[in-house]
């Protein structure tokens, strides 16, 4: 048991700086690159498609309103036609 503890202390002592070096020189650039990529995509690239989608939705709503107005006019015409006016 004492031999195992005596062996673990130097291994842990070497592992901690090794983990710090790996984290700093390997993981940090990957995280930085991913963060930049996500920031660049969340900027103007997403605003344009969203505004295009909103314009398409507004256009579709206007078409539906025109269709509804036409249906109401036809219904009123049919009502007047059947009433004998």
Residues of the domain holding 50? 44-85
Tally of domains in the chain = 2
Q: Are residues 53 and 84 located together in one domain of the fold?
A: yes
Return the residue matching tokens 């991913």. 34
Q: Are residues 62 and 30 located together in one domain of the fold?
A: no
By CB atoms closer than 10 A (0-12, 13-18, 19+), residue 69 is: exposed
Q: Are residues 25 and 48 located together in one domain of the fold?
A: no
In this prediction, residue 63 carries a pLDDT of 94
Tens of pLDDT, residue by residue over 28-74, are: 888 888 888 877 766 555 566 778 888 889 999 999 999 999 999 99
Instruction: Say whether pLDDT at 4 is over 70.
Output: yes
Q: Are residues 34 and 49 located together in one domain of the fold?
A: no
* Mean pLDDT, range 22-32, rounded to an integer: 83
């Amino acid at each position: 048991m004492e031999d195992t503890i005596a062996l673990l202390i130097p291994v842990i002592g070497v592992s901690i700086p090794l983990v710090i070096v790996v984290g700093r020189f390997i993981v940090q650039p990957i995280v930085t690159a991913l963060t930049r990529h996500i920031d660049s995509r969340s900027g103007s690239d997403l605003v344009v498609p969203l505004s295009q989608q909103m314009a398409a939705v507004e256009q579709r709503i206007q078409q539906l309103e025109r269709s509804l107005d036409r249906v109401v006019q036809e219904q009123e015409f049919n009502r007047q036609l059947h009433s004998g006016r």
